[in-house]
Structure 1
Amino acid sequence: MDHKKIILITGATGGMGKATAIALANMGHTIIIHGRDDLKTEAIVKEIRSASGNDHIDHLTGDLYLMSDVKKIADAFKAKYDHLDVLINNAGGVMDKERSLTTEGFEKTMALNVLAPFLLTRLLIDHLKKSDHGRIVSVSSDAHSLSAKPDLNDIEMKKKYDAMTAYGNAKLYLIWNSELLAAELIKCRSKITTNTLHPGAVATSFASGSDLGWFYNFLAKLARPFMKTAEQGAATAIYLASSPIVSELTGMYFVNKKIAKPSTKYYTANNAKHVWEYCYGATKNWVDTE
C-alpha cells in the first residue's frame, strides 16, 4: 500500500489485535480499534498514539457477541468515514465448557467467531468497495484442522457440545465464508480481496474469559518458550493488511506470511454453501433492506 489507509480492527485492546494496531499505526495509517469497554478502549487509543506518534487513532465500542452491537459499530463507522480500506476481523475466542447462548439466542462461539465477522463484513462491504483496493483479513486458526468436527445439521451444537470442537468448527466456517465471498467478489469484478490466516501458537489470553482459561494459562506456562509473542503472531495479519505483494491475492489461507492449504477434510461446495446460508439467515434481521 503506497498511500495511507483507513483500517478497522476488531478485538484490538490487547494481544494480537493491539500489536496489529500499533504496527499499522507506525506505518502512518488511520486506525480504528474496536473494544468492548469504553474506558479501556480509550486508554488503548492513547497508548497507541504515544507508541506510534500517530494521532489518527480512533475507536468504536460494542459487544461482538450481539449482532445488534455489530450493527451499531458498523453504523457508527459509516457515519464518520466515507470509505474503508482494510477490515481486520481479529476478535475471537474459546467459550465455556458448557454450551451457552447470547441474549439474542445464538451459541456464543458461533456468535463471536463467525456471525459477528460475517455481519460486520456484510454491513461494511459497500464502504470497502469505495476503496481503491479494499482488503478483508480474518484471523482463523489451525484449530480448524485439529479440533473441528462439524455437523451441518446442528451448526450451533445443540445436541452435543464441546468447547474446542465448537471453536475448531467456527474457525473452519470462517475460512469457508472467506473463500465463498472471494468467489462472489471476483464474479462482480470487485477489487476487494478477502483472506484468512493462522497466527501460530501465541501466548495471549483469548480463552481467559471462559472456564477453560485456567487450562490454557497452565498450558501457556509450559509452552511459553515455544510460543510466539503477540507481535510475532500479528505479523501475518499486518502483512495481509499492508503488503503490496498480496494486493490481488484473494480467497487464500496464510500461515507465516505464506499461502497454506486449509483442511479439506469436511469441505464440499454444498457444506460451504450451507454455512454461508445459515450465517446469511441468522444475521438478516440486522441488515437494512435495500
Structure 2
Amino acid sequence: MTNKQTILIAGATGNIGGGAAVALAKRGAKVVLLGRYHEKLKARVNLVRTALSEAQIDYQDTDIAMLVIDFSDMESVKHAAAEAMNRFPVINGLILSVGVIVQNGPKILPSGHEVMFATNVMGQFLFTNLLLKRMQQSDGLVLHVVNEDYKEIDWEDIESINNHKTRTAMVRTKTCNRVIAAELARRYAGTISSIAFSPPLIIDKSDPELAKRWPSGVLGFVWKILTALIANPPSVAGEPIADLMLSYQDRSAINGALFKLDKRVEKADKAMNDEVLGKRLWDELVLLTGLMTE
C-alpha cells in the first residue's frame, strides 16, 4: 500500500490511539484524530506535530485533522460519520481504540444505555457501519483494539445493567469487540478487511494528567502498580499498528486475524471463531443502534 493514506483513529487522545497517530504520521499517512473533547484533540494534534518536527519530518497541516465525536451518543456518532463522509473522499483505514471503564455503575445514559457498553461497543459498531461504503472504495482496513479476556454474553442483560460488576461489564464489552471484528471480516470479505489487535498494557508515563486517569480504590492501586512494573510506552503499540495499516499490499491476507503486536495469533480464538455468536451479536447491535433505520 502507498503511505499517503487517510486513517481515522477513534480514541486518539488515549495511549494506544495516540501512539498510532504518531507512528502513522511519521510514515506519511494523513491521520484524522477522533475524540470527545475538542481541546484534548487540539492538544493531541500539537503532540503529533511536535513529534514530526523533532524527527525532522516535513508535513502539511492538513495531514493532521481532527473530528469530535462522543461514542456513547448515537446521534453524535451519526453526525460525526456524516461529517467524515463529507470531509474525506477517501478513507483507507479505521482504528477503533475506544475503551472506557466506569466504576460504581451501572451508569445509565439519557438514552437508557449503559455507558461502557454504549461507548465501547455500540458507538464503534455504528460508526464503522456508517463508513463502510466509503471504505469499500479503497480496500479499507478496520483495526479493532482488543484484549483477550473472555466473558460470556448474557443475552438477557447484554449491557450488564441488572447484574453489574465493573470488571465483568468491561471485559464483556471487549469480548464483543473481538466478536464484531471477526463478524465484520466474514460479512465483508473481499471488499474490506477487519482485524483484531491485542497490545500489552500501554501507559504514557509522561502524561501530565496521568494521575487524573486512575480509577479509585483498589482498582486504582492495582493500575498504579502495573504502570510502575510492566507498562509500555505508546510507541510499543503505535509502531505495529502502523505496520498493519500501511504494509500489506493485499489486506485480504490478514482479514479476520488476531495480532499480538506484530505477531499473528494462529491459535483459534473462542470469541472470534464462533460464527453463531457473531451473527447474533451483529443483529442485536443493528437493533440497539438503530442502524436498520439508516
After TM superposition, the score normalised by the length of structure 1 is 0.88
Inter-CA distance 150–222: structure 2 relative to 1 (3 Å threshold): same
How many residue pairs get matched?
281
Q: For residues 268 and 27 of structure 1, what CA distance do their matches in structure 2 show?
A: 36
State how 1:101-120 maps to structure 2 within 5 Å. Answer: 101-120=108-127
From 255, 269, 272, the equivalent of 1:250 is 255
Determine what percentage of the aligned residue pairs are the same residue. Answer: 24
Matched with 2:76 is 69
Three-state SS of the structure 2 residue aligned to 1:244 is coil
Which amino acid counterpart does residue 254 of structure 1 have in structure 2? F
After TM superposition, the score normalised by the length of structure 2 is 0.86
The Cα shift of 1:182 comes to 0.8
- RMSD of aligned C-alpha atoms? 2.5
- Unpaired stretches in structure 1, ≥5 consecutive residues: none
The Cα shift of 1:268 comes to 4.0
Three-state SS of the structure 2 residue aligned to 1:7 is strand
1:162 matched to 2:165: yes
Q: For residues 258 and 49 of structure 2, what CA distance do their matches in structure 1 show?
A: 31
Matched with 2:287 is 281
- Unpaired stretches in structure 2, ≥5 consecutive residues: 53-57
Matched with 2:147 is 141
Matched with 1:183 is 186
Q: For residues 164 and 32 of structure 2, what CA distance do their matches in structure 1 show?
A: 35
Is the contact made by 1:182 and 1:250 (CA closer than 8 Å) also made in structure 2? yes
The Cα shift of 1:256 comes to 2.3
State how 1:7-156 maps to structure 2 within 5 Å. Answer: 7-52=7-52, 53-55=58-60, 56-131=63-138, 133-142=139-148, 144-145=149-150, 148-156=151-159
The Cα shift of 1:203 comes to 2.6
Is the contact made by 2:146 and 2:198 (CA closer than 8 Å) also made in structure 1? yes
Q: For residues 124 and 201 of structure 1, what CA distance do their matches in structure 2 show?
A: 29
Is the contact made by 1:95 and 1:209 (CA closer than 8 Å) also made in structure 2? no
Matched with 1:230 is 234
Q: For residues 240 and 272 of structure 1, what CA distance do their matches in structure 2 show?
A: 24
Three-state SS of the structure 1 residue aligned to 2:270 is coil
Is the contact made by 2:72 and 2:119 (CA closer than 8 Å) also made in structure 1? yes
Q: For residues 256 and 281 of structure 1, what CA distance do their matches in structure 2 show?
A: 33
Inter-CA distance 218–44: structure 2 relative to 1 (3 Å threshold): same
Q: For residues 157 and 40 of structure 1, what CA distance do their matches in structure 2 show?
A: 30
Which amino acid counterpart does residue 18 of structure 1 have in structure 2? G
